[in-house]
Structure 1
Amino acid sequence: MTWANLLSRKRLGVSQPEQTEIGRSHFQKDIDRIIFSSAFRRLDRKTQVHPLPENDNIHTRLPHSLEVSSVGRSLGTKVGQRLDDELREIGIDSSNIGDIVQAACLAHDIGNPPFGHSGEEAIRSWFRATANQEFVKDLTSAELNDFQNFEGNAQGLRIITKLEYYLFEGGMRLTYATLGTFLKYPWASDFIPTAGKNKYGCNQTEREILQEIATELGLIARSTTAWYRHPLSYLMEAADDICYALIDLEDGIEMGFITYREAIDILGIIVDFDKIPPLHSSCQGNELLNRQIAIARGRAMNTAIEAVVDTFMQHKDDLLHGNFSYEDPIAACGGRVKQCIELAKYTAQEKIFNNPRKIQIEVGSHATIEVLLDAFIQAAYLLKNNDSPGERAFRQRDRVFDSQQQTIFNLMGTHQPKSEWSLHHSYMHILDFISGMTDDRAVSIAKQVISAIEYN
């Protein structure tokens, strides 16, 4: 792969070259388009780790995405400075690398459904359930995989290339460089490169777009539906890993899941707490510890950033040839940085993700998603398989109701399925609607659905 192709300024959905603006690069426009989109705005009320937190200090997807973009900008800018000679030869400003990575980082979670990873799993579980196989029996195996292994990453690609701004005409119309960097998994849902991992970045409905991105950027093919990653996507991944691993520690303390001592031991792997300057005398007790940990976390992030930049440059040629053999950029760093990040992730997995209070809330989120899918998928199925457009009968938790189907569809606005659509197409629109909801909105719509069913 070559930087001349990988840093393409061309935009998806735009046939004519875009005019350059003084003081605002093409890639800075990408940043602005993402930030001002409704999909990005809704991240403010979507779960990061802790569903529906009552504590205002706890991260939702929006501050997480902003923090990842800040780290990503630093990573990209520093790599750009190290690549300055190569970039100058092809007319690329080194600062553009920071802009590209920042834009991709801003969008990296834009496809996540309500309730975060719990919401993803709830969608997968519904489509895998034996009781719901009637509604998916006519789908191809590749189409079924879009639902049974529902991926926020693939939904994110659909949002930024189809659903926001220019509907089905390029979406946000981002540059190919940003789209390539965004693609953490540049393959369709029917390609699984690693046994046991069903991660993918493209639904069947966006295969042609993925092909177009790969062709424009000159990505190296792995199969007819899969390519090796854009090198800058590893910087996006590293930014995400650094943020959620280290910042989750502060959320864990805030929620009472981990102790100050545990956080200090983790950060202390790469930060000398003795070198943190004395704080104002009014800081005592837990407030003092909170501030010291925040300062240490900032220093740990800076150390990790420098390590990732060094590692990227060491493996630059491998990345360009699709030969990067490490599981992720942090693993390639090795040493204390790898030890610190991995211990932080392990602690989060053991103490935060498996906490009984968190699991109890997630059970409720599964029930919410189940109510929504029961209503909308079944209504879409009957629309396709019934001749009469009037009253419909559909199953809801093993009971049969006579319901006006339009009552359900009216909640969907422009996402309403049409009888001439394929089931796969209809179901994708339903997931556009459901996955686009905030946590609060999902609960509210589920209540409306239940009320509508009980009324009818």
Structure 2
Amino acid sequence: MNWEKLLNNNRLRQSNRKNPEDARNDFESDFGRIIFSPALRRMHDKTQVFPLTTDDNIHSRLTHSMEVMSVGYSLGVQLCENEEFRTRIGRDKYDLFREIPMIVKNICLIHDIGNPPFGHFGETVIQNYFKDFFSKCSFPDKKQKNSQKLDLNEEQRFEFLNFDGNAQGLRVLTKLQILNDAFGLNLTFATLAAYIKYPNYEKINDKIIEQHKIGIFYSEREYFEKIISECELKVGDRVIRHPLCYLMEAADSICYLTMDMEDGYNMGLYDLNYLYNKLKDIPSIKEKIEKIYQDPENYYKNDITKVVNFRIQIIQQLVVLAVKNFEVNLSLIETGGYNKELIEDDETNKLAEILRSVCKEKIFTYRDINSLEITGHSVIGGLLDYYIKFVFHTDKKYRKRASALISNSILNAAFEENNLIGNDAKIDNLSDYYKLKIIVDFVSGMTDQYALNHYQKISGQKIN
């Protein structure tokens, strides 16, 4: 694998960065573009685990992503400290430290940027909505009497039936953050390639790590092919992950496992004794966890401080594990032969497995979470109902009102993609596929609270 290509700093649209006073490299420039993007700001009110919470101590998608960014940066720095790795890459140490940690930092910050409101359950709601909706429609290749006719092919329908925040994120980054063209934030090829966790749009295969989900939508395939070509990520007929994607995945898992654990404690779902009994027999952290728990010198003062220090020890252990597994398995990673998460490759300690059991036993069964997720089902399903009814309505007045409510940036991105300018830039001139796209783009980009308020307004439940 060619690391010169993997660290490709070119862009979909040729960059105009020529300011001699700007000392940043292209990956540092990517970071600035991401930080100032509206899509990133909206993550402050998107669910991590606890929907619509008013508790400021509980994680949102934005605070989660910032923590993932911090851990990811640490992973990148530790990797670059490895002299054997630096020699393999053939990069100057100074340059490498400004490239790889920065790319990992970028992709960690944007890894959830395409997630809909109400967390991962929001993805499930959208998928199931279209499963039901399409069952009542007629298509050119699947005709059904007395049903709504839609001009969508099977590949396009497949995308809605398998809606995923990762694929939506690529659309957000490359198109929906539109200014004056259809290139979105116009990030570097390396950043975009490393972001793509599932370089897959054809089928879902749980046995191959990069095919667990759909990571590319029909609308972004041209960009995807360009990114893959520029970074040389094809092995035969198979497209594989960018190696740095494994570090982002590890940082994400480390943070959501440890911080969900801490959030669960803060919400009163379990006590210190429960956590200690879960962690006390893990070889790599056993002594440190016991010392924190017993606290013979009363150093930690209270239980919440002990839980925080449990988390610190766990993160440190998982970071070491992730970097070690990346280094040991780099040849397999480069050829697409490594089929595990870095922190799951741990037969001795099984630390990630134990943390997942905490989430499964105590957090995901929490009644309030499930109740609010059902609220999310009603809100997202209701919004899709209203907007599809309006956009496809036979009365032009309804279509006009839908157009007035949908975000201008969403509409402009669709018009730009379809070369509709001037008087032609209208919803009526979009294909059925893109009519559904603008609706899903709009709804999936909403924050939890905005989605709830907007649904209540258009359904007549409240006026202000």
Range into which the TM-score falls when normalised by the shorter chain:
0.7 to 0.9
Q: How does 1:165-314 map to 2 (within 5 A)?
A: 165-166=178-179, 168-188=181-201, 190-194=202-206, 199-221=213-235, 223=237, 227-268=239-280, 269=282, 270-271=284-285, 272-276=288-292, 284=301, 288-314=302-328
Instruction: State whether residues 156 and 218 of structure 2, in contact with CA within 8 Å, keep that contact through their aligned partners in structure 1.
Output: yes
TM-score normalised to structure 2 length: 0.85
Q: Which moved more, 1:418-427 or 1:63-72?
A: 418-427
Counterpart-to-counterpart distance in 2, 1:78 and 1:244: 21
| Counterpart in the other structure of 1:123 | 126
| Counterpart in the other structure of 2:400 | 406
Q: What one-letter code is carried by the residue in structure 1 that aligns with 2:396?
A: P
What CA deviation, in whole Å up to 9, does each residue of 1:389-424 have, x standing for no partner?
23xxxxxxxxxxxxx443333221313561111111
Change beyond 3 A, Cα 1:166–1:6: farther
| Counterpart in the other structure of 2:160 | 147
Instruction: State whether residues 20 and 26 of structure 1, in contact with CA within 8 Å, keep that contact through their aligned partners in structure 2.
Output: no
Paired residue secondary structure (1:169):
coil
- Please, which of 430, 438, 452 is the counterpart of residue 443 of structure 1? 452
Q: Offset at 1:281?
A: 6.5
What CA deviation, in whole Å up to 9, does each residue of 1:147-191 have, x standing for no partner?
111100000000011111445532111111111110100122x33
Q: Which moved more, 1:258-267 or 1:246-255?
A: 258-267
What CA deviation, in whole Å up to 9, does each residue of 1:95-140 have, x standing for no partner?
1111000100000000000101111111111111158633575321
Q: Offset at 1:81?
A: 2.3
| Counterpart in the other structure of 1:430 | 439
Change beyond 3 A, Cα 1:144–1:18: farther
Report the number of matched residues: 428
Q: What is the identity percentage for the equivalent residue pairs of Structure 1 and Structure 2?
A: 34
Paired residue secondary structure (1:332):
coil
| Counterpart in the other structure of 1:350 | 361
Paired residue secondary structure (1:52):
coil
Q: What one-letter code is carried by the residue in structure 1 that aligns with 2:130?
A: F
Q: What one-letter code is carried by the residue in structure 2 that aligns with 1:389?
A: K
Instruction: State whether residues 368 and 442 of structure 1, in contact with CA within 8 Å, keep that contact through their aligned partners in structure 2.
Output: yes
Counterpart-to-counterpart distance in 2, 1:251 and 1:7: 36
Q: What one-letter code is carried by the residue in structure 1 that aligns with 2:108?
A: C
What CA deviation, in whole Å up to 9, does each residue of 1:398-451 have, x standing for no partner?
xxxxxx443333221313561111111111111111111100000111012112
Paired residue secondary structure (1:93):
helix
Matched, 1:365 2:376: yes
What CA deviation, in whole Å up to 9, does each residue of 1:182-212 have, x standing for no partner?
0100122x33233697611110000001100
| Counterpart in the other structure of 1:94 | 96
Counterpart-to-counterpart distance in 2, 1:27 and 1:200: 26
What CA deviation, in whole Å up to 9, does each residue of 1:317-371 have, x standing for no partner?
11111111x33112224321xx111111122023211222211111111000111
- Please, which of 375, 378, 391 is the counterpart of residue 380 of structure 1? 391
Counterpart-to-counterpart distance in 1, 2:204 and 2:87: 37
Change beyond 3 A, Cα 1:333–1:170: farther
Instruction: State whether residues 104 and 248 of structure 2, in contact with CA within 8 Å, keep that contact through their aligned partners in structure 1.
Output: yes
Matched, 1:114 2:117: yes
Q: Which moved more, 1:121-130 or 1:22-31?
A: 22-31
Q: What one-letter code is carried by the residue in structure 1 that aligns with 2:442?
A: F
TM-score normalised to structure 1 length: 0.87
Instruction: State whether residues 311 and 333 of structure 1, in contact with CA within 8 Å, keep that contact through their aligned partners in structure 2.
Output: no
Counterpart-to-counterpart distance in 2, 1:92 and 1:106: 23
Structure 2 segments unaligned to the other structure (5+ residues): 138-147, 412-425
Q: Offset at 1:280?
A: 9.6
- Please, which of 160, 163, 176 is the counterpart of residue 163 of structure 1? 176
Q: How does 1:21-100 map to 2 (within 5 A)?
A: 23-82=23-82, 83-89=85-91, 93-95=95-97, 96-100=99-103
Instruction: State whether residues 161 and 172 of structure 1, in contact with CA within 8 Å, keep that contact through their aligned partners in structure 2.
Output: yes
Counterpart-to-counterpart distance in 1, 2:436 and 2:297: 57
Change beyond 3 A, Cα 1:185–1:97: same
